[in-house]
Structure formats: structure tokens, C-alpha cells
Structure 1
Amino acid sequence: MKKILSAAAFILMVGCASSQKSNGSAEKDLYRSWRVTGFDTTGANHAPTITFDQAQNRVSGNGSCNRYSGGFTLTAPDKIAFSPMAATKMACPGLNVEGKYFELLNKANKWSIKDGVLTLSQDGNALLTFVAE
């Protein structure tokens, strides 16, 4: 009986451990809409947003003025690569905010979600943080 209980406990522990990502978040949590936080949006219409579409491996959002979209690939549990983004070309106040947002988004190569905050980083340096919308 002890052997059966020990085996069951071991299987349960292995199952729980394998269902967690090494970056501390489940990939499924990534697939939603996010709003940037901790980013200077002075002069912009609103904070940039990003939405991850799992079915099409696409992202879309608003850079603070213009709508954008592009592709992304998860190359490992915590690695991400974005394709070049296509964006509308409206003129708005605070376009410098949008330019900086796109620059940082293009540099991102890692992602993590902790305590409901999505962080996009480059080689361990946090670039952008988001909260779910």
C-alpha cells in the first residue's frame, strides 16, 4: 500500500511540475489583450496596447495613435520573436511615444508573466511591462 501511495504522489508531483513553464507563467496567459504600464506616454492619446492571437500567431494593437499588426513566434518557453510590424500612418500628438514603443517591441526577445504583469525583455533587461485589459 505504501508503494502505491508513493508512486501516486510521485506521478502527481511530476504532472504538476511539467505543466508549469520555466518562466513562471503558462503560455495560455499570454493570449489576451494587454495595456502598457510604466512607460512615459506624455503627450500621447493613450497608452499602447498589444493583443496576442494564438490561432494565427499574430499580434495587433494601438501604438498610442496608429493601429499595428505583425507576427510573432515563441521559440522556447520564454523566448519570443516579432516580425516587422505594419501600422497605419495617422498623424497624432505624441508620435515620439509610439516610435519608442515600436523600437522597444522590436528589441524584445524574452517574455514572462508574473503576478498578472507581462514583461517583454531583451537578454534579461526589461523593456516593456503590460497589464491585462
Structure 2
Amino acid sequence: MMKKIFTLIFAGLLLLSCNASKTIKSDTVSKLDGSWELNYITGPRIAFDGLYPKKKPTIIFNTKENQVSGNNSCNTYTGKLFVNGNKIDFTQPMAVTKMMCMDGQQGEQTYMGTLQKITSYDITDDGKTRNFISGDIAMMRFTRK
């Protein structure tokens, strides 16, 4: 909801003042929809390709159903999507499969742990990249899959 105050002043006299309210529907949230692949994650001392030697993590957004799902390089996960403007919250428990993964176990843990720290997101001007942010630090970057 956006509120604006309009005033009309002529020769120093207030002629008109009114409040106007308008609901603005942001399509920014719906731009999350689709399948995205991780191509950057901050924090670990292991190179990205070392964390994810066989399969990069993915995330799938369905904003109409408030659902998030994906693959963390080994196991699949699913949960409720909490988005408000550019704020996003992955702290609620997600359902995760329990397959044993020989390669990429540290990558899986790094991915899920970092995802829980995310507080907001932004979309690049070209619309091809989603940056996930914690505070003011870009922690993860996804591109359209």
C-alpha cells in the first residue's frame, strides 16, 4: 500500500490537500518462479566445484502455492515459501530426503546451512540472476536452469 499526499499551493496559499492511497502489486515476487541453479556460494574454504563435483544445487519457486523445493546436490527438499517484498525466510523446517551421498556431503550441509541465513533477495537488471542476501552480504547466486 502506497500513500501519497497531494497539495496544491498558489501564491503561498494552500488551495487543496488530500491523501491518496493506491495498492501497488509488485511482480518482483512472481519473478522468483521457476527453477534456478546455484553458481556461487560464500563461506566455505573449498572451491565451488569441489563442493559440488557432480551436481549443483537447485531451487524451485512456486509463489502461487507459497512453495519452495529443490535439490541440495544430493537430497531433495521442500518447504513453505515465506516472501514479503524482497524479504525471504528459509528458517522454517523443510522436508529433506535422507539419501547417502559419498561426494558432496559437505556441499549439501553448506547449502542448507547458508539457505537458512538468507534474509532477502534481489534480481539483476537482466532478470537472469537471483542473489540471496544475508544482512547486506550476497551469500548465494542462482541462474535460470
Q: Is the 8 A contact 1:41 1:94 kept in 2?
A: no
What is the TM-score normalised by the length of structure 1? 0.76
Q: Is the 8 A contact 1:65 1:90 kept in 2?
A: yes
Greater Cα radius of gyration, structure 1 or 2: 2
Residues 120 and 43 of structure 1: CA distance in aligned 2, closer, same or farther (over 3 Å): closer
1:128 aligns to what SS in structure 2?
A: strand
2:98 aligns to what SS in structure 1?
A: coil
* Alignment partner, residue 118 of structure 1: 130
* Alignment partner, residue 132 of structure 1: 144
CA-to-aligned-CA distance 1:106-128 (integer Å, 9 cap, x gap): 00010111031101111111111
Cα deviation, residue 52, structure 1:
0.4
What is the TM-score normalised by the length of structure 2? 0.70
Identity %: 32
* Alignment partner, residue 35 of structure 2: 33
Q: Is the 8 A contact 1:67 1:88 kept in 2?
A: yes
Q: Give the alignment of 1:1-133 within 5 angstroms.
A: 26-39=28-41, 40-42=48-50, 44=52, 45-75=54-84, 77-82=85-90, 83-92=92-101, 93-114=103-124, 115=126, 116-133=128-145
RMSD (Å) for aligned C-alpha atoms: 1.7
Cα deviation, residue 26, structure 1:
2.3
Which has a greater percent of strand?
A: 2
Q: Is the 8 A contact 1:34 1:132 kept in 2?
A: yes
Cα deviation, residue 58, structure 1:
1.0
C-alpha separation between the residues in 2 aligned to 1:90 and 1:41?
Answer: 21
Worse overlay, 37-46 or 113-122: 37-46
5+ residue gaps in structure 1? Answer: 1-17
Q: Is the 8 A contact 1:41 1:97 kept in 2?
A: no
